[in-house]
């Protein structure tokens, strides 16, 4: 994707120098605006006037689930002494000094990890620059390194003035290093093979009853894994029972054996807390070609037999050129469909005049227009104006002056079911292997549906990784997911959080609106820089967790 792909209103390619200059001027402007805003202050010191120790201690559930911060809502443990005798005064002063040091560490930890307090207003200024930088990078007018540097420098400048959390001073350093390590995703080593399993069974993790769902067996060169979801019937962190210290590792180091009595270990990777887990079990070695089945041991359940000889999913796939349009227009269309998807669900997109808070589509479009990347005749801007009118979204003066165009049929289909709450309930293994696209090889592992929402789960290799939420143009900015059913419905699929590293990724795609209950087949499409690939599969729902 290059700047030459885009044209401004007069048909000329946008000027990268003008675009970068505009981005830097916007960063300086937002820094000047932020100087009058509220600054960060550490939590107040509530020590007893007499000499005593005060330190923060998160609840047991937070300690087990991972440090989620010590702050105003966390439990506080206090050890208080009576007035010391004169000869103990030096020791008391030393104890008080030590206490202050520990409290300072606790205050910093609270600011770094808690985020329970109201966000500092300067983050809105930072977000506006980050969104513009993302749009310029996705349009190919400003390179990603420059966009990242401008946002990172602004983040650091705000932190030095106490306008963002002090942790920004080292977060940006870590983010920069992480991006360097992840800048070149690992290319796919070869085609993947996906075998649907779709088994749900009862389990008992450290004595707590629950259920486990096994989705697909994913066989890749040098690695074999089983996608897995698990949920306990009751969150032990909220029950009166004592929480086992290793509950987070309840799915680690499971055992498996094949028909030739070869033993395997299965290690869990993914996300979770004290009640839910979502990820995959990776086998210590791949079963040989002659192995026919594999028995996987789940705590508190009979071994689950996985048929290794079962045929892999063979689903219709297509590859075709990407629809015409400039990179900037495509990016605005992506943000506009996101606005249409979430606006009607009460997400609060209305403009806040005091803080200049707008939907990302509106803010980025206004910035690209001002930077000369898009002109008033841009088709995407016309569609954005029409979409904003449809959902009652106010627009800045420069955008409001643009003539609206008609909404595409797909967007009309999305809006038709915007208030629907009749989606089917269930989960099903898909195991759809998409053709490689722009260096990324993706497998749609499962789809889960509910009355008001649905989600795909995706395993990918060669997937671009964002180093930091505020200092990068955005994870997978060059890709766009969508879906279509067999009864004329169209769906927007938005990438959610997942696990990423060295080009490997497991993430979730939120599907909006809910799936039509009349649909019997679904086509999911991934659009890249030059082509788009699709796979179609039947909908055969099964009971979930």
Instruction: Give me the pLDDT at residue 89, please.
Output: 45
Please say if the pLDDT value at position 245 is more than 50.
yes
Q: What is the pLDDT of residues 345-369, one digit of tens each?
A: 334 334 444 455 678 899 999 999 9
Q: Are 379 and 329 in contact (CB under 8 A)?
A: yes
Q: What is the pLDDT of residues 300-318, one digit of tens each?
A: 888 999 999 888 778 999 9
| Cα separations in angstroms, 506 against 26, 34, 79, 94, 100 | 35, 37, 45, 51, 43
Instruction: Give me the pLDDT at residue 278, please.
Output: 87
Which residue in this structure is represented by tokens 């401008």? Answer: 150
Report DSSP letters for 142-174, one per residue: S-HHHHHHHHHHHHHHHHHTTSS-TTHHHHHHH
Of 9-18, 240-249, 293-302, the range with the lowest mean pLDDT is 240-249
Bridge-partner residues for 45, per DSSP?
none
387 φ/ψ angles, rounded to the nearest 5 degrees = -65, -40
Closest listed residue to residue 27, CA positions, set 156, 195, 145: 156
Instruction: Give me the pLDDT at residue 258, please.
Output: 95
Closest listed residue to residue 260, CA positions, set 286, 311, 294: 294
Specify burial of residue 505 (Cβ count, 10 A radius: 0-12, 13-18, 19+): buried
Q: Residue 323: how many CB atoms within 10 A of its CB? A: 9
60 φ/ψ angles, rounded to the nearest 5 degrees = -55, -40
Instruction: Give me the pLDDT at residue 185, please.
Output: 55
Largest CA distance in the chain: 86
Closest listed residue to residue 269, CA positions, set 244, 249, 286, 247: 249
Instruction: Give me the pLDDT at residue 239, please.
Output: 66
How far apart are the C-alpha atoms of 248 and 305, rounded to whole Å? 25
How far apart are the C-alpha atoms of 481 and 223, rounded to whole Å? 26
The tokens for 190 are: 């070869």
Q: Are 205 and 222 in contact (CB under 8 A)?
A: no
The residues, any chain, with a CB within 8 Å of residue 279's CB and separated by 6 or more, are 227, 228, 268, 269, 270, 271, 272, 499, 506
Closest listed residue to residue 517, CA positions, set 428, 423, 454: 423
Bridge-partner residues for 196, per DSSP?
216
Vertex 133, ends 128 and 134: CA angle to 5°? 100
SS3 332: helix
Instruction: Give me the pLDDT at residue 54, please.
Output: 43
Report DSSP letters for 55-83, one per residue: EE---HHHHHH-----STTS-EEEEE-PP
The tokens for 532 are: 């788009």
Whole-number CA gyration radius for the chain: 26
Q: Are 151 and 130 in contact (CB under 8 A)?
A: yes
Q: What is the pLDDT of residues 460-479, one digit of tens each?
A: 888 876 544 444 444 455 78
Q: Which is more confident, 286 or 176? A: 286
Confidence of residue 237 (pLDDT cuts 50, 70, 90): confident
How far apart are the C-alpha atoms of 132 and 366, rounded to whole Å? 9
Vertex 268, ends 304 and 246: CA angle to 5°? 105
Q: Which is more confident, 72 or 170? A: 170
Instruction: Give me the pLDDT at residue 519, please.
Output: 97
Question: What is the mean predicted confidence (pLDDT) over 510-522?
Answer: 95
Instruction: Give me the pLDDT at residue 63, please.
Output: 33
Please say if the pLDDT value at position 492 is more than 80.
yes
b/e code 40-61 from CB counts within 10 Å (16+ = b): beebeeebeeebbbbebebeeb
Please say if the pLDDT value at position 135 is more than 60.
yes
Distance of CA 112 to the CA centre of its chain: 20
How far apart are the C-alpha atoms of 155 and 471, rounded to whole Å? 8
Question: What is the mean predicted confidence (pLDDT) over 484-488?
Answer: 95
Mean pLDDT of the chain: 78
């Amino acid at each position: 994707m290059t700047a030459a792909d885009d044209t401004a209103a007069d048909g000329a390619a946008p000027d990268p120098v003008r675009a970068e200059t505009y981005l830097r001027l916007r960063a300086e402007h937002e820094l000047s605006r932020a100087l009058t805003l509220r600054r960060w202050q550490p939590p107040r010191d509530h020590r007893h006037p007499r000499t005593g120790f005060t330190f923060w201690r998160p609840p047991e559930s937070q300690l087990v689930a991972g440090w989620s911060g010590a702050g105003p809502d966390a439990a506080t443990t206090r050890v208080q002494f009576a007035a010391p005798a004169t000869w103990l005064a030096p020791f008391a002063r030393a104890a008080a000094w030590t206490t202050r040091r520990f409290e300072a560490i606790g205050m910093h930890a609270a600011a770094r990890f808690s985020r329970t307090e109201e966000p500092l207003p300067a983050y809105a200024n930072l977000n506006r620059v980050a969104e513009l930088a993302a749009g310029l990078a996705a349009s190919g007018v400003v390179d990603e390194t420059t966009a990242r540097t401008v946002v990172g420098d602004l983040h650091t400048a705000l932190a030095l003035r106490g306008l963002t959390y002090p942790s920004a001073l080292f977060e940006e350093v870590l983010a920069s290093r992480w991006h360097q390590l992840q800048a070149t995703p690992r290319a796919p080593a070869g085609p993947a093979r996906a075998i649907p399993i779709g088994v749900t069974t009862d389990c008992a993790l450290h004595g707590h009853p629950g259920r486990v769902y096994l989705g697909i067996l994913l066989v890749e060169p040098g690695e074999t894994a089983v996608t897995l979801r698990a949920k306990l019937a009751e969150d032990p962190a909220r029950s009166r029972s004592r929480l086992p210290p290793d509950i987070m590792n309840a799915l680690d180091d499971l055992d498996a054996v094949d028909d030739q009595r070869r033993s395997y270990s299965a290690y869990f990777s993914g996300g979770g807390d004290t009640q839910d887990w979502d990820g995959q079990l990776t086998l210590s070695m791949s079963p040989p070609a002659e192995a026919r089945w594999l028995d996987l041991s789940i705590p508190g359940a009979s071994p689950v037999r996985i048929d290794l000889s079962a045929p892999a999913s063979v689903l219709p796939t297509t590859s075709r050129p990407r629809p015409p349009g400039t990179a900037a227009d495509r990016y605005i269309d992506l943000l506009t469909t996101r606005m249409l998807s979430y606006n009607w669900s009460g997400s609060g997109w209305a403009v806040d005049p005091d803080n200049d808070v707008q939907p990302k589509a509106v803010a980025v479009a206004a910035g690209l227009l001002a930077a000369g990347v898009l002109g008033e005749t841009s088709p995407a801007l016309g569609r954005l104006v029409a979409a904003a009118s449809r959902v009652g979204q106010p627009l800045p003066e420069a955008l409001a002056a643009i003539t609206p165009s008609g909404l595409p049929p797909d967007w009309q289909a999305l809006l038709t079911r915007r208030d629907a709450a009749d989606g089917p309930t269930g989960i099903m293994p898909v195991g759809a292997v998409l053709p490689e696209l722009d260096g990324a090889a993706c497998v749609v592992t499962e789809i889960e549906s509910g009355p008001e929402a649905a989600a795909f789960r995706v395993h990918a290799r060669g997937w671009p990784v964002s180093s930091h939420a505020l200092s990068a143009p955005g994870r997978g900015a060059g890709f766009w997911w969508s879906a279509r059913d067999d009864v004329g419905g169209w769906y927007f699929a938005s990438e959610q959080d997942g696990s990423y590293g060295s080009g490997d990724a497991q993430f979730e795609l939120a599907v909006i609106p809910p799936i039509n209950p009349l649909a019997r087949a679904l086509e999911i499409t991934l659009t890249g820089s030059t082509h788009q690939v699709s796979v179609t599969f039947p909908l055969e729902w099964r009971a979930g967790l």
